Amino acid sequence: MSAPDLGQLQAAFKAYLFSGANEAVLAPWFAANKGIEVPHRLDVYRNAYYIRLQESLAHDFPALLAYMGGAAFGREMAAYLKACPSTSPLLRQLGERLPDYLSDHNMPLLADLARLEWAVLEAFDAADSRVLTVKALQNIPPERWQNLHFELHPSVTVLDVRTRAYEVWNAHRKQQLLPDQQNDAMAPLLIWRSPGGLSVKPVSTECHSLLVSLRNRLSFAQACEQLAVVMDIGNVAQAAARCLWELICQGCLLEQLEWG
Amino acid sequence: MFGLGLRPPFYEQAIRGKVAVDWFELISENFMVDGGKPRAVLDAVCEHYPVALHGVSLNLGGTDPLDEEYLDRLGKLIDCCEPLRVSDHLCWTRHGGHHLHDLLPLPYTRDTVAHVATRIRQVQDRLKRQILIENVSSYAEYAHSEMSEWEFLNAVAEQADCLILLDINNVLVSAHNHGFDAYCYLRALPAQRVQQIHLAGHSVSGPLLIDTHDHPVSDPVWTLYQLALQHLGAVPTMIERDDAIPSLDELLAELDIARRIRAREPAA
Ligand SMILES: [Fe+2]
C-alpha cells in the first residue's frame, strides 16, 4: 500500500471521525505497535470526538438536555454534528446552527429552546458598551427627538417564540417541574446582559414592536409609526415612552445616540 | 517559574490576585470573545499575573490554509495581554473547513516536517514572535513514518526556528502506547528550545493510556520531570487540569511537588 499524501490522509481521518464507515481505508495506514490492533487505536479518536463535542453542546444547552433527557439529546446531537460539523476554531460556536437544524427537522419547541439558550450564550460574552441613562435622555432638546436613533446594546436579542420554550427554560432554571397546563400566551422574549447579570423576560406586544424597530435601525419617530400598527394611535406616545423608559432602566440601549 | 492552567473554577481567586503562582496559562480560544465575563477575567488576571497563551486550533499540521481570521484574533489577544509565551500543538485539528476539536496525529516524515515548519514560520512572521509547539499524546502511529516522534519534533523546531513546550505526561502516554523509551525522548530534546513544561494526569483504557487531564500527576511523570530538569535546566513548569478539577489548594500542593523536585536539582 503506497503512503497517502497529508491532505488525503486527513480527509480520510475526518470521514472516519464523522461516520466510521471508511475504517478499512484508514486502518492500513497505521502501525499495530505493541500488538494493539489499529481499529482499537482509532476508536479512541472517534469516541473522544463525539464525547467532547456532545459534552460541549450539553454544557451550552442545559435546559434542552434536561427537557429531552440524556438519551434523546445524545441521538439528536450526534445527528446534528453529522449534518452541521464545526466550522469555527472556537468550540463555543458549535451550537450556532442547532436552532435552525431543529427547526428544519420539525421540532419547533426544541428549536425555540435552543434559540433561547443560544441567545443567553451570546449575551454572556457580547461586547461591553456604555449604556444610555435617563439623565442623558433628559438632556436631549425636544426638537431633536424626531430624528433620534436609539441603538440596542450588543448583548440584546429579541426572540419571537411561538412555543412554550420560555416556560420550559424557566422551569429548568428554577429546578422546578414543568407545569402540565400549557400557558397559551406565548410572549416574545428579550434577552440581555447588564452589570447585574443575564436576564430573560417576556415583553409586551408594544415593547416587542419598539425593539424590532430599533433593531431594524428605524428612528424613534418611525418606531412610533410602527407602534400605531399594533395599538390605538392615541396611546402610542405614552406606550413608546413607557417601553423606552423600561429599556433604559434595564441597560438595553447604548449611550451613543445618532440623529438623522 | 511555576504556574497553573487557568480554569473557570479558579477565576474568582485569580481575579483578586490571591493565588500563589508565578504565572497563569490561558487557553487562547476561551478569550477570543468581544466582551462580558471572559474579557473581564482576562483584564483582571493580567493585572495581577504574567500570562502565557496556549491555543488548540492553530492547525499547524493541517493542509487547509492557515486561518487568517483566527490569527487576527490571536494577534489582538497578544496585544491585549502581552504574554510571556504563545503556544499551540504539533498536530492537525481541521480539514476541509471542518474543525475536529482534537489534537490529531501527524506522520513523522521529512515531507511533513517541511510542511509544518513552513506554516510555523508563517505564523511567527505574522505574530512577529517565536511560538512554542507542544508534543501531543497519540494513540496511533502511521506505518509510513520515517523517524521517531522526538526526531520529528526536533526537526520541525529546527526548520521552523521555533520553541518547544514539552508535555511530560504526553511523552509518557505516547511512550506507553507505542512502546518507545520516554527517557530517550527527553534526552534527545534541544535544551535551549524547551521554554515551558506541562505536567498533567492521564487515565488507563485497556492497553492504552489516555491523556484526559482528570487525575493528579502520576509518579512516573514526576520521575520523568526530574530527569527532564537534569537535562534541560530550569524551565517554567505548570500543571494542566481540565476534568474532575480539585480544589485550588490541592492543585497548589501538587505544584509544590514540582517546586521541591526543582529545588533538589543542582542544575536548577
Ligand atoms: Fe499539554
Residues in chain B closer than 8 A to A94 (CB atoms): 101
Burial class (CB in 10 A: 0-12, 13-18, 19+), A104: exposed
Contact B160, B124 (CB under 8 A): yes
Contact A157, A82 (CB under 8 A): no
- In angstroms, the CA A21 to CA A81 distance is 16
Quote ipTM for the complex. Answer: 0.95
In this structure, are A197 and A100 located in the same domain?
Answer: no
- Report which of A55, B141, A86 is spatially closest to residue B152, judged by C-alpha positions: B141
Query: Measured between CB atoms, does A260 come within 8 Å of chain B?
Result: no
Q: How far is the CA of A19 from the centre of ligand 1 (A)?
A: 28
Beta strands B86-89 and A258-259, pairing class: unpaired
The arithmetic mean of pLDDT across residues B159-164, rounded, is: 98
- In angstroms, the CA B21 to CA B190 distance is 27
In this structure, are A242 and A143 located in the same domain?
Answer: yes
The arithmetic mean of pLDDT across residues A211-228, rounded, is: 94
What is the predicted pLDDT for the residue at A65? 97
In this structure, are A87 and A158 located in the same domain?
Answer: no
Structural domains in chain A (count): 2
What is the predicted pLDDT for the residue at A176? 87
The per-residue pLDDT for range B118-152, each reduced to its tens digit, is 999 999 999 999 999 999 999 999 999 999 999 99
For residue A66, being part of any structural domain is answered with: yes
Share of chain A above pLDDT 70, in %: 97
Of the partner residues B37, B115, B143, the one whose CB lies closest to the CB of residue A31: B143
The arithmetic mean of pLDDT across residues A179-199, rounded, is: 83
Share of chain B above pLDDT 70, in %: 99
* In chain A, alpha helices (H): 6-19, 23-26, 38-60, 62-68, 70-83, 98-104, 108-124, 134-138, 165-173, 205-215, 220-230, 236-249
For residue A31, being part of any structural domain is answered with: yes
The per-residue pLDDT for range B68-115, each reduced to its tens digit, is 999 999 999 999 999 999 999 999 999 999 999 999 999 999 999 999
Angle between helices A6-19 and B110-127 (to 10 degrees): 90
Tell me the pLDDT of chain A averaged across its residues.
93
Amino acid at B88: D
The per-residue pLDDT for range A123-143, each reduced to its tens digit, is 999 999 999 998 988 888 888
The per-residue pLDDT for range A37-52, each reduced to its tens digit, is 999 999 999 999 999 9
What is the predicted pLDDT for the residue at A183? 62
* Rounded alpha-carbon distances, angstroms, from residue B211 to A59, A236, B127, B168, B219: 21, 62, 29, 11, 15
The answer to whether the CB atoms of A45 and B104 lie below 8 A apart is: yes
In this structure, are A136 and A68 located in the same domain?
Answer: no
The answer for A 173-212 residues in CB contact with B (under 8 A) is 193
Domain holding A91, by residue range, is: 6-106
In this structure, are A86 and A130 located in the same domain?
Answer: no
Amino acid at A221: A
For residue A54, being part of any structural domain is answered with: yes
- Report which of B93, B40, B104 is spatially closest to residue B70, judged by C-alpha positions: B93
In this structure, are A148 and A245 located in the same domain?
Answer: yes
In this structure, are A205 and A136 located in the same domain?
Answer: yes
Query: Measured between CB atoms, does A17 come within 8 Å of chain B?
Result: yes
In this structure, are A72 and A152 located in the same domain?
Answer: no
What is this structure's pTM?
0.94
How is residue B31 written as a grid cell?
A: 478569550
In this structure, are A101 and A130 located in the same domain?
Answer: no
What is the predicted pLDDT for the residue at B268? 44
How is residue B2 written as a grid cell?
A: 511555576
Of the partner residues B96, B112, B207, the one whose CB lies closest to the CB of residue A14: B96
The per-residue pLDDT for range A72-83, each reduced to its tens digit, is 999 999 999 999
- In angstroms, the CA A117 to CA A167 distance is 13
Contact A86, B25 (CB under 8 A): no
For residue A37, being part of any structural domain is answered with: yes
- Report which of B149, B103, B133 is spatially closest to residue B242, judged by C-alpha positions: B103
How is residue B56 written as a grid cell?
A: 488548540
In this structure, are A99 and A151 located in the same domain?
Answer: no
Q: How far is the CA of B211 from the centre of ligand 1 (A)?
A: 9
What is the widest separation between alpha-carbon atoms in chain B? 51
Residues with Cβ within 8 Å of A1's Cβ and at least 6 positions away in sequence, in order, are A28, A29, B143
The arithmetic mean of pLDDT across residues B48-62, rounded, is: 98
Residues in chain B closer than 8 A to A33 (CB atoms): 141, 177-179
Instruction: Answer whether residue B265 shows pLDDT above 80.
Output: no
Report the DSSP beta bridge partners of residue B67. Answer: none
The per-residue pLDDT for range A142-182, each reduced to its tens digit, is 888 888 999 999 999 999 998 999 999 999 999 988 777 66
Instruction: Answer whether residue A184 shows pLDDT above 70.
Output: no
How is residue A232 written as a grid cell?
A: 390605538
In this structure, are A68 and A140 located in the same domain?
Answer: no
In this structure, are A166 and A90 located in the same domain?
Answer: no
The per-residue pLDDT for range B208-251, each reduced to its tens digit, is 999 999 999 999 999 999 999 999 999 999 999 999 999 999 99
